Copies of this chain bind each other. A is one copy, B any other.
Amino acid sequence: MLYFASDYQEGAHPAIIRRLTETNLLKSPGYGTDDFCDSAREKIRTACGCSGAEVHFLSGGTQANALVIAALLHPWQGVIAADTGHISTHEAGAIEAGGHKVLTLPHSLGKISARAVLEMCDIWENDANHDHMVMPGMVYLSQPTEYGTMYSLNELKEMRSVCDRFGLKLYIDGARLAYALAACQNDVTLPDLARLCDVFYIGGTKCGALLGEAVVVPKPELLPHFFTFIKQRGALLAKGRVLGIQFDELFRDGFYFSIGSEAVRLADRIRNILKRHGYRLAFDSPTNQIFVVLDNHEMARLNDKLTFSFWEKLDDEHTIVRLATSWSTSEYDVQELEELMT
């Protein structure tokens, strides 16, 4: 069986497991107040070119989204997101459970435009009844998006400018950020994110860690007492070092970036192979996720040789499926896939 169903189907990158093993018996205080966490935070601040940033480690993406959004919004505000955004669809209503409406905009390959956000805010501002309505309070983007697509630096600058005009916070969900940073056409760096966002998170779970996401807050005064908020929401690990050690490893010598670039390189190869062999890609995604159209026969044939994710039914004859690469994907896997898809 060939495994391309997701980027979280194993444990951690072996280097991370090794580091957890090596440090295992060292003593440290709890709750993320240890030296491993401090070292990881410092490395992340450096990578983001933002020496004043606060960095908080959390366990997963939905947790990061739920906490950051609940902490940034006022009770009378909602968060603008693509209708395909993870918070809009696959977080079981986590944002609403925190008290806030997700104000959805139609997506274009997973993305929303600064113009669409502007129009939504404009409508709110000009509605004579807007004091009876949810006020847009922030923008949620994912980089890369759920469609594996990316925002360009220009697009983010435009979004920032609309946010400034309407007093919106800008938050980016980087569950798979390593793969965006590594994509050929990417022009958005971590320092760009730190400069343009109010908060963003650097995904660990889907980029080589056992678990863990690093929430970066360039201007910490935006999230006062966030430590206590994390504790209150049940998201503070007693052994906070479990996350610190992993991020310390991920941000040592550019490791996070090389994890991303190797996975994207192989994904690019797969895209080429698929095209060469006459497969149709559903849309262009430059990161570690590959969206390919299969007809029913092909689906049936591959089903017991290859794991993939169902994406959506295109028509009675065709389905879009998703393949994903990660640190665990090897050249050999790609060769086997090529043989399989010939």
Contacts and interface: CB of A to CB of B under 8 A. Distances in A.
Interface of A: 3, 5-6, 8-12, 14, 17, 20-21, 23-31, 59-67, 70-71, 74-76, 78, 89-97, 99-102, 128-129, 131-135, 205-206, 210-211, 224-225, 227-229, 231-239, 241-242, 307, 310, 328
B225 A239 contact: no
Q: Which of A8, A74, A96 has the largest count of B CB atoms less than 10 A from its CB?
A: A96
A118 B235 CA distance: 31
B231 A91 contact: yes
Contact of A100 (B3, B89, B93): B93
A100 B182 CA distance: 38
Contacts of A128: 310
B62 A236 contact: yes
Nearest to A2: B27
Nearest to A71: B75
29 contacts: A5-B29, A10-B28, A17-B21, A25-B328, A59-B235, A60-B237, A62-B231, A63-B234, A66-B233, A75-B97, A76-B92, A78-B96, A90-B129, A91-B232, A92-B228, A92-B231, A93-B101, A93-B232, A94-B232, A94-B234, A96-B99, A96-B134, A97-B99, A128-B310, A131-B227, A131-B231, A135-B225, A211-B237, A211-B239
B62 A59 contact: no
Contact of A132 (B91, B239, B310): B91
Contact of A70 (B9, B30, B75): B75
A62 B133 CA distance: 12
A40 to B, nearest CB: 15
Given A132-B231, A205-B239, A225-B74, A24 B12 contact: yes
A6 B286 CA distance: 47
A196 B46 CA distance: 47
B92 A232 contact: yes
Contacts of A64: 234
A89 B133 contact: yes
A60 B132 CA distance: 14
A327 to B, nearest CB: 11
Given A234-B63, A242-B11, A100 B92 contact: no
Given A11-B239, A25-B11, A94 B132 contact: no
Contacts of A307: 27
Contacts of A100: 93, 96-97
Contact of A10 (B25, B78, B93): B25
A27 B3 contact: yes
Contact of A235 (B9, B26, B96, B234): B234
